[in-house]
Amino acid sequence: MTDAGSRIEEYLVKKLPFTTDNYHTKKSRLSYLCIKAIKMKLPYAEPYKTKMVEYIKPSTVEQRKQWIKEADYNLFNLTSDKVFIDLLTDSGTGAMSDNQWAEMMRGDESYAGSQSFLKLRDTVKRITGFDYFLPTHQGRAAENVLFSVLVKEGNIVPGNSHFDTTKGHIEFRKATTCDCTIDEAFDTSVFHPFKGNVNIEKLEKTLQSHPKEKIPFVILTVTCNSAGGQPVSLQNIKEVSEVCKKYDILLYFDAARFAENAYFIKTREEKYKDFTIKEIVRKMFSYGDGMTMSAKKDGLVNMGGFIALNDEAIYKKATVFNIMFEGFITYGGLNGRDMGALAVGLDEATEFDYLETRVEQVAFLGKQLVEYGIPVQQPFGGHAIFLDANKFVPTIPRDEYRAQALAIELYIIGGIRSVEIGTILADRDPFTHKNRYPELELVRLAIPRRTYSLNHMRYIAAVLKNIYDSREEAKRGYTIVDEAPIMRHFTVKLEKL
């Protein structure tokens, strides 16, 4: 040991009171601490290892050129065997644990009163604190059931950049949404630790300027998906709740990525750095009246959703719609085994070590891209990295769908499937039928949970670096040859120019 090392050890012996455990004598534990102090901080490592692998198919550039042409240059038309790394979505694409699979085997498939239902109900109560619980087959089904009770024609539902299906279920009921997200969320050049936050003044003005009966609830999306997986701070949640209480309005969470949101609170909001994730989650939800959940995200399952809430009267009304749309109230469109796996998944998703691996893997890819000079949205989201196609390929005209062109190139060069969040997604103006050009042309790289390795991230970054280095050669994009009148991005057919 070096002089410095022994001095540090001496210091630690005096300074650090600790109890010995079964593995380390006081001395060896101290020299371990000592090595850590003088050499390097240990990096995080995945708190799991691989028990089963799923092979993915490599292919050649020539094959992929042919396949994407046959798919009419629409990545949704590709079958999964033609994709090497699939970053289309993080929804329902994660890997389950051995404990979840074991719980699948224990699934109780009783129509009524299943043990798996009881397990899930008790877990949801313990993790969220909400008293009443209804399972549904996925997140939008939870919205459909809850909004059938709460949303009426002419209503307005304020929130922070509502998710598409949330907005869809509100507008379908001839009600409208009001986006009260802070302005910083829409400026990719500013750094703000909580870009999902609500502008409290704007929210208060909205609540003030409408009669109470017109506003059934405020909805807070955590993390805010539409703003790029950006979190909401606990301070902001508290302030939103105070405003809602002042105007006697309910506050619901769209909670698909609530655990990732809690991780950002722990790591970015000083006051909560010593709280466990489960404590933060309880605190977040303590400010609301209920939640809708897409379990395909932070539930760590491939399909599922639920509603949890405190008001018995609303719960009772919701059970009627749940039975009509989803199934009996103790299964709601889910198998018993699926409810069991979800109960275990919710516990695993709210552990710090898992979340650190999850969020830092996404950030690892982001940092690698930044190092290569590639323009990405910052700060990085919890579940995805967004490429800024306006800065990446400004040489391709906007009316030739530059973000889509970049997504296609990413597929051809590396077999990586991403998704365009740009002009194609934005659809046409319903009156003029002209393309609506959104401010940002993005390509989203959504990372499935516990699925790909850091080497996959390195591979993705290297593919993008190669594309970036020859970006000036990209001059032409694509033209639409066939499109649906609404939600065209799923089925659009394109031709190369």
Ligand X SMILES: *Cc1c(COP(=O)(O)O)cnc(C)c1O
Contacting positions for ligand X (CB under 6 A): 91, 138-140, 163, 165-166, 221, 225, 254, 256, 294, 296-297, 305
d(CA 452, CA 14): 44
Residues in CB range of 146: below 8 A, 6 or more apart: 252, 290, 292, 307, 309, 314, 318
CB atoms within 10 A of CB 177: 17
Q: Nearer Cβ to ligand X, position 155 or 160?
A: 160
Q: Is 257 exposed, middle or buried (0-12, 13-18, 19+ CB in 10 A)?
A: buried
Is-cis flag, bond preceding 379, omega within 30? yes
d(CA 255, CA 298): 9
Could you tell me which of 217, 216, 253, 249 has the C-alpha nearest to residue 237? 253
Catalytic residue among 297, 331, 349, 354: 297
Would residue 278 show up in a list of annotated catalytic residues for this protein?
no
Which residue type sits at 301? V
d(CA 389, CA 228): 15
Q: Nearer Cβ to ligand X, position 8 or 149?
A: 149
Catalytic residue among 98, 122, 164, 469: 164
Q: Nearer Cβ to ligand X, position 303 or 406?
A: 303
Q: Nearer Cβ to ligand X, position 166 or 319?
A: 166
d(CA 408, CA 415): 9
How distant is the alpha carbon of residue 211 from its chain centre? 33
Catalytic residue among 11, 18, 111, 172: 111
Would residue 297 show up in a list of annotated catalytic residues for this protein?
yes
Q: Nearer Cβ to ligand X, position 91 or 368?
A: 91
Distance of closest approach, residue 92 Cβ to ligand X, in angstroms: 7
d(CA 335, CA 106): 11
Distance of closest approach, residue 193 Cβ to ligand X, in angstroms: 20
CB atoms within 10 A of CB 19: 6
Residues β-bridged to residue 254: 221, 292
Q: Can you list the alpha helix ranges (DSSP code H) found in 350-420?
A: 352-371, 389-392, 402-414
Distance of closest approach, residue 430 Cβ to ligand X, in angstroms: 23
Pair type for strands 493-496 and 419-421: unpaired
For residue 65, the 8-state DSSP code is H
Q: Nearer Cβ to ligand X, position 139 or 477?
A: 139
Helix H or strand E segment including 32: helix 26-38
**Phi, psi dihedral angles at 419 (to 5 degrees):** -140, 140
Q: Nearer Cβ to ligand X, position 230 or 404?
A: 230
Q: Nearer Cβ to ligand X, position 446 or 463?
A: 446
Could you tell me which of 93, 66, 123, 84 has the C-alpha nearest to residue 417? 84
Distance of closest approach, residue 223 Cβ to ligand X, in angstroms: 8
Nearest residue to ligand X, scored by beta-carbon proximity: 139
Would residue 163 show up in a list of annotated catalytic residues for this protein?
yes
Q: Nearer Cβ to ligand X, position 163 or 401?
A: 163
Distance of closest approach, residue 204 Cβ to ligand X, in angstroms: 24
Catalytic residue among 175, 256, 343, 349: 256
Distance of closest approach, residue 385 Cβ to ligand X, in angstroms: 16
Would residue 21 show up in a list of annotated catalytic residues for this protein?
no
Distance of closest approach, residue 45 Cβ to ligand X, in angstroms: 28
d(CA 199, CA 239): 10
Would residue 313 show up in a list of annotated catalytic residues for this protein?
no
Angle at 357 between CA 356 and CA 362, to 5 degrees: 100
Would residue 254 show up in a list of annotated catalytic residues for this protein?
yes
Q: Nearer Cβ to ligand X, position 225 or 350?
A: 225
**Neighbouring C-alpha atoms within 13 Å toward the C-beta of 158:** 28
Could you tell me which of 86, 97, 89, 87 has the C-alpha nearest to residue 56? 86
Distance of closest approach, residue 34 Cβ to ligand X, in angstroms: 46
Structure-token match 């300074």, residue found: 15
Q: Judge contact between 300 and 94, C-beta under 8 A.
A: yes
Distance of closest approach, residue 123 Cβ to ligand X, in angstroms: 18
**Phi, psi dihedral angles at 384 (to 5 degrees):** -160, 155
Q: Can you list the alpha helix ranges (DSSP code H) found in 288-445?
A: 312-325, 336-349, 352-371, 389-392, 402-414, 423-426
Distance of closest approach, residue 18 Cβ to ligand X, in angstroms: 43
Catalytic residue among 179, 254, 338, 388: 254
Would residue 264 show up in a list of annotated catalytic residues for this protein?
no
Catalytically annotated residues: 111, 163-164, 254, 256, 297, 489
